[in-house]
Structure 1
Amino acid sequence: MKASLLLVDDEQGIRQSLSAILQDEGYRILAVAGGQECLDALQADRFQVVLLDVWMNGMDGLEVLRRVQESHPETVVVMISGHGTVETAVKATKLGAFDFLEKPLSIEKTLVVVKNALEHQALLEENRLLREQLQERYQIIGESVPMKALRQQLALMAPTNGRVLIYGESGTGKELVAHVLHAQSLRARQTFVEVNCAAIPEELIESELFGHLKGSFTGATEDKTGKFQKADGGSLFLDEVGDMSLKTQAKVLRALEEQRFEPVGSSTMIHVDARVIAATNKNLEEEIARGNFREDLFYRLNVIPFVVPPLRERTEDIPLLAGHFLKEFAFTYGRKPKEVAPDALDVLTSYGWPGNVRELRNLIERLVIMTPHQRIARKHLPPDLFRSDGRTRIVETTTLQQARAAYEKEFILKKLEEARGNVSRAAELLGLERSHLYRKMKTLGISS
């Protein structure tokens, strides 16, 4: 597809000659004489680059540039002037102009600037698409009261620079909340840097956070930039912050207090401006009481606390989460979309989910890969879901007969799972005639 250019100049000769040159280069071009015509054209069509004269009758080019930047920030603007000054060029640049061309126009230079402007616009478009993909990826799924409250809290707190401490069990989605905080913050266009404090050996975490100079310790064969410095201007996510040693905590505290630090082996201070978002699955107040976590660091981090509830406390969100993951993995693995049958959904909502949303996500991924049918039924679910933390149908029974029936049903479903839905094979595993098993299944309400 041809690139679309909009030329805005009140000199007819410039419009005609430059339009002809650019058309010969293969561009689609529209030429207009004034600022309002330019704005109207942008409302009616999409242009990658605008070539805009500074000095025009009526609305001048700088005012048009300001309005274009407000209403069409994805459009790249190149300014043109017959008697440009340094002051005008500086103003145009501050308003967002990509480049500046002086009359009389050099054809060679104009073509180079247009080419560069189009490349810049393509990069802007790519970044926009990546941001949209990230927003789709980092969604807070759920309509339960706790999740609605969490989304409201995120919308309120994300635009601030306050430090955040996210509490929640493993697998609840603390990292997701950190990403959403960053994406909705004023730093969204800057870097998001993540550190898993529990995964880095104690002897390396200081170097990982603050960087080091070559030769500062055995194995330091080159200079290393630390995570704090990489996050300058953006957000630094300290996951599992409760697992840091007291020595590392002291250095992190100092970095937070002073907004500066020394890399390992250096005596030079490096200043940084990074918003710190921390997360933990521990009760830090209990850790403080045990002497495992610094109280002063806790108060530095705990400016804005967020609590991510475990999945067992928001079971009404399980159908939404399951549907979201089904779509995600059907797309990932190129499979036809699947759905969860009501009997399977009953099992999912009754299960305790000790691994929280991460466990549910992993299960749905496995089901998308392993289940040949479009409809995921109860029989396709793994046996573990039927004996989780005592929350099975068996404990809900009131008589011995009901308990026996519930146990038989669970046991038969387990064997059907092992036999991958093959009733004849399941009958062999159970030591029953196939016809006997069919009658049992019918009695117990197990679909074949």
Structure 2
Amino acid sequence: MAIVAEPGLDAPAVARAIHEAGARRDGPFVLIDCALPDAAALEQQIFSTAARRGTLALVNVDGLPGPLQARLARVLRDGQIDPDASGAGTAFDVRAIAAVSSEPDDAIQEGVLRRDLWTRFSLRLDLPPLRQRSADIPMLVGCLVGDAADSARVPVPRFSREALILLGALPWRRNFDELREVLEVLVRAVIGGAVRLEDVLDHVALEPVVWSQGSPTNLREARLSFERHYIARVLSRHRGRMEDAARSLGMQRTNLYRKVRQLGLGVPRTRQP
């Protein structure tokens, strides 16, 4: 199996979950970061028998030196290590999972990933980045904020709806790594209180926003501008389907109609399939 995941999406955790759900879950789980610079140590780890009858998870597999990639491709093809003249060798009895953080076809074209190795991993799993999962941010915050509060030794705070909407609109370029860092900042900022929109604006480094009609002069104007931009984006994503957009926003459809009129967005007149 192959996992394609941007940095910060915790591909090792996904690999472990696959191992624990599979037929080899009673065997060992061996995780190796192939980006480590010591090629000799990597070779020894990969071809040892530590993962026998278990799972060998190779993250950043495109970081392996070319000769080591070639050897691994042969071993995965033959199912054995270093066969002798008679064809007998040590059985390579593992489930191999490879993970890369960029598009494999690009890595192959650039010469950093061998095609004969990549094709040994026939089943591909693409993990979507957080910027494509804005509707999941409230759930993810709920799952992760407890760990952040425990680490800071503070009570778990509540989050206002507006704060969650803003968090859902952020690009999260470092995915879960960045989300965890933001939550650690926010739980220390409010010390058990409620995380409001103002707290996110005060304590999270937001990317510059291009305002369509000049910069807002106060918080109310900034909030209205953000709501207008965010709701317009959700409506566009759902192709004007108000019911689907309302569900994504966590609000009643009638309230969304009212909000759309208040923000001057215009109510969609047609619905595309």
Q: Which amino acid aligns with 2:96?
A: V
The Cα offsets for residues 290-347 of structure 1, whole Å up to 9 and x where unpaired, read as: 332211111112x110000010011000000001111233345553221112232222
The Cα offsets for residues 219-249 of structure 1, whole Å up to 9 and x where unpaired, read as: xxxxxxx3xx111111111001111111110
Contiguous gaps of at least 5 residues in structure 2: 83-87, 223-273
Q: Quick one: distance in 2 between partners of 1:409 and 1:198?
A: 47
Residue 33 of structure 2 contacts residue 60 of structure 2 at CA under 8 Å; is this kept in 1? yes
Q: Quick one: distance in 2 between partners of 1:311 and 1:209?
A: 31
Q: Quick one: distance in 1 between partners of 2:140 and 2:108?
A: 35
Q: Which amino acid aligns with 2:156?
A: P
Q: Which amino acid aligns with 2:71?
A: K
Q: Quick one: distance in 2 between partners of 1:369 and 1:386?
A: 16
The answer to which of 253-262 and 177-186 deviates more is: 253-262
2:52 to 214, 224, 232: 232
State the aligned residue count. 217
Tell me, yes or no, if structure 1 residue 405 matches structure 2 residue 224: no
Q: Which amino acid aligns with 1:324?
A: C
Quote the offset at 1:348 in angstroms. Answer: 0.7
Q: Quick one: distance in 1 between partners of 2:191 and 2:18?
A: 38
1:344 to 159, 163, 167: 163
Report the equivalent of 2:144: 325
Residue 185 of structure 2 contacts residue 203 of structure 2 at CA under 8 Å; is this kept in 1? no
1:309 to 99, 119, 128: 128
Q: Quick one: distance in 1 between partners of 2:75 and 2:56?
A: 12
Indicate how the Cα distance of structure 1 residues 255 and 308 shifts in structure 2: closer, same or farther if over 3 A, else same: same
Tell me, yes or no, if structure 1 residue 364 matches structure 2 residue 183: yes
Tell me, yes or no, if structure 1 residue 207 matches structure 2 residue 44: yes
Tell me, yes or no, if structure 1 residue 182 matches structure 2 residue 24: no
Tell me, yes or no, if structure 1 residue 335 matches structure 2 residue 154: yes
Q: Quick one: distance in 2 between partners of 1:406 and 1:233?
A: 62
The Cα offsets for residues 197-235 of structure 1, whole Å up to 9 and x where unpaired, read as: 11343343222323xxxxxxxxxxxxxxx3xx1111111
The Cα offsets for residues 96-146 of structure 1, whole Å up to 9 and x where unpaired, read as: xxxxxxxxxxxxxxxxxxxxxxxxxxxxxxxxxxxxxxxxxxxxxxxxxxx
Indicate how the Cα distance of structure 1 residues 406 and 284 shifts in structure 2: closer, same or farther if over 3 A, else same: farther
The answer to which of 360-369 and 309-318 deviates more is: 360-369
Indicate how the Cα distance of structure 1 residues 404 and 327 shifts in structure 2: closer, same or farther if over 3 A, else same: closer
The Cα offsets for residues 334-388 of structure 1, whole Å up to 9 and x where unpaired, read as: 5322111223222211211100122102221333345324212233337684532
Q: Quick one: distance in 1 between partners of 2:132 and 2:58?
A: 26
Q: What stretches of structure 1 move > 4 A for 4+ residues in a row? A: 331-334, 382-386, 406-410
What's the Cα RMSD here?
Answer: 2.6
2:29 to 183, 189, 192: 192
2:98 to 262, 269, 278: 278
Q: Quick one: distance in 1 between partners of 2:46 and 2:80?
A: 12
SS in 1 for 2:44: helix
Contiguous gaps of at least 5 residues in structure 1: 1-163, 211-225, 263-267, 411-448
Within a 5 Å distance, the mapping from 1:368-407 to structure 2 comes to 368-381=187-200, 385=204, 387-388=206-207, 390=208, 392=209, 395=210, 397-400=211-214, 403-405=215-217
Indicate how the Cα distance of structure 1 residues 274 and 356 shifts in structure 2: closer, same or farther if over 3 A, else same: same
Residue 323 of structure 1 contacts residue 339 of structure 1 at CA under 8 Å; is this kept in 2? no
The answer to which of 276-285 and 330-339 deviates more is: 330-339
Q: Percent identity?
A: 26
Residue 233 of structure 1 contacts residue 274 of structure 1 at CA under 8 Å; is this kept in 2? yes
Calculate the TM-score normalised by the size of structure 1.
0.45
Q: Quick one: distance in 2 between partners of 1:379 and 1:199?
A: 42
Q: Quick one: distance in 2 between partners of 1:179 and 1:173?
A: 10
Q: Which has the higher contact order (CA 8 A, sep 6+)?
A: 2
SS in 2 for 1:300: coil
Q: Quick one: distance in 1 between partners of 2:76 and 2:189?
A: 48
Calculate the TM-score normalised by the size of structure 2.
0.71
Residue 76 of structure 2 contacts residue 92 of structure 2 at CA under 8 Å; is this kept in 1? no
Quote the offset at 1:277 in angstroms. Answer: 0.7
SS in 1 for 2:72: helix
Report the equivalent of 2:228: none
